[in-house]
Structure 1
């Protein structure tokens, strides 16, 4: 395998003459290291993606859903071939995707989250946007559908990278890319119009440091879109779970929206607004044929779905938007 994946090479060229150009002093070496570390599994995954048929998309909708191809011009045999190959990348957690008549019914109805977020954020048309912890990239496609000029996702997890590349096989746009990195690998870019962090904050051991990192990515007056677990309470209310929360091991801090607003203020954000609060239901997160292991229904108290199986308040998610100072 080449030292640089073609997708990365194209991305390097795209950003070289932009405000992101200084990122190239560190990025190629970081991605080369990731490729070397994951070489064997990466090669296997890319080989599978290479078996996917090349099809023209007679219909594309990234604005109301992620739909690539209607499926009306694809033979049943080809659809079964695609389904079998995409099933090899299970579990599919974020979606759904509609690919040439095939419905990837993912664990999460991530489209519901997007519908809650979109009315409250600045228009993305012609903007450079970044999604931290983007998973398989579902929301990246929706950002592209809103007309963003450059869409970048970062997530270091190899299976998510391969899932993204599998979807991109069917719509190989140059201005949408998933980089297999964590936020700790990102320099202070200070060049992004909008940064999304959705479903990541509570996994960070140092939440205030994380907010400083997010702020360092944004240009002055850029917008942060922060979606995270919250609890009810005042500015002093923060839940620090034990070993597990809803069976998740790496949950560190779940603040109230008032506490989180205070933290954002201390870090230097302004115009902070809580624009949505929503309790996650077993209709939004559930097991499917594309994610067959346990899901939210297994993580809640069977006698009281307002509590997790450990006895904590059931997952409530809030969306906050803020402006970088």
Structure 2
């Protein structure tokens, strides 16, 4: 449990302390039964990162930590260790002179979401499917008191630990990630805001997923949902074949009208679409930090308005609702 010792202490000191009824047991089981074979290597990379006091931290579009006393050797060491944690999908980051140009320009998404959030000051915020935690840092920038990410991806967890390693002690105490899925969470009913960005279409039962998200919110708390959508009315839902844009785990892509209807049926109120746009090749692309195929490889080469399978190209919407 040493891996999460400080995070569990933070839970105990927060309004989420009732989570301790389940969380330590779940993390013990995870450490016993569910570790990825590469995880020890990834954690060794994190442990070997040099400890450098941050002189400047900027949680803006590029999450940045800098210090004037970083030698060329230390910078090369940081770059080499972080490159062993590839592929880096969500970012970007700039850590002591090393720029991690991630596959996704996650700052583009945040720029679409942030104007509609209201005031996060003092809030307990949950990000379901948080990836490497890029948006957790942006939530702290927006005033959140504590940010909590859950994502079963263990490489994402190692990447988050690597970035957190370079943060100030005060920020380290406020940002947390557990290798769990939303289905592992009890009905906490304690978060002021719950984010779920890029997850809904991966769930076999989207209505159950929305219900699970609702169960994490306090009364009056807000849900920020970002997901793939298609054009259409309240009855329009795309159910792809074996793949959508080469992804095998895409189950349901509703229209925004259908999604608003689902949210109402699940008991949310004041649901509204605050943004909708087609994903561009500037937002998702291959880089030196993610050298595999990316969006351009998933689209019809003769018509970028379609996926390789002939479905509408990825269109994403942001919906905000209240419990």
Whether 1:109 aligns to 2:105 is yes
Match for residue 35 of structure 1 among 12, 24, 31: 31
Distance 1:142 1:222 in 2: 19
TM-score (norm 2): 0.96
- What secondary structure is seen at the aligned counterpart in 2 of 1:314? coil
Match for residue 74 of structure 2 among 70, 78, 82: 78
Distance 1:97 1:237 in 2: 38
The residue that corresponds to 2:131 in the other structure is: 135
Equivalent residues of 2:42, 2:84 under 8 A apart: no
Match for residue 144 of structure 1 among 119, 131, 140: 140
The residue that corresponds to 1:66 in the other structure is: 63
The residue that corresponds to 1:297 in the other structure is: 296
Question: Aligned-pair distance for 1:5?
Answer: 2.4
Post-superposition Cα deviations, 1:121-143, rounded to whole Å, max 9, x if no partner, equal 12111100000000111101111
- What secondary structure is seen at the aligned counterpart in 1 of 2:38? helix
Distance 1:225 1:205 in 2: 20
Post-superposition Cα deviations, 1:206-234, rounded to whole Å, max 9, x if no partner, equal 01111111100000010000000000000
Match for residue 42 of structure 2 among 20, 42, 45: 45
- What secondary structure is seen at the aligned counterpart in 2 of 1:165? helix
* Counterpart mapping for 1:6-21 below 5 A: 6=3, 8-21=4-17
Match for residue 19 of structure 2 among 17, 23, 31: 23
Q: Which moved more, 1:29-38 or 1:80-89?
A: 29-38
Distance 1:17 1:82 in 2: 33
- How many residues are aligned here? 319
* Counterpart mapping for 1:77-226 below 5 A: 77-171=73-167, 172=169, 173-226=172-225
Q: Residue 64 and residue 245 in structure 1: after superposition, are their counterparts in 2 closer, same or farther (change >3 A)?
A: closer
Distance 2:18 2:225 in 1: 26
Equivalent residues of 1:133, 1:153 under 8 A apart: yes
TM-score (norm 1): 0.95
Question: Aligned-pair distance for 1:42?
Answer: 3.0
Q: Which runs of 5+ in 2 are unaligned?
A: none
- What secondary structure is seen at the aligned counterpart in 2 of 1:124? coil
Q: Which runs of 5+ in 1 are unaligned?
A: none
Question: Aligned-pair distance for 1:277?
Answer: 0.4
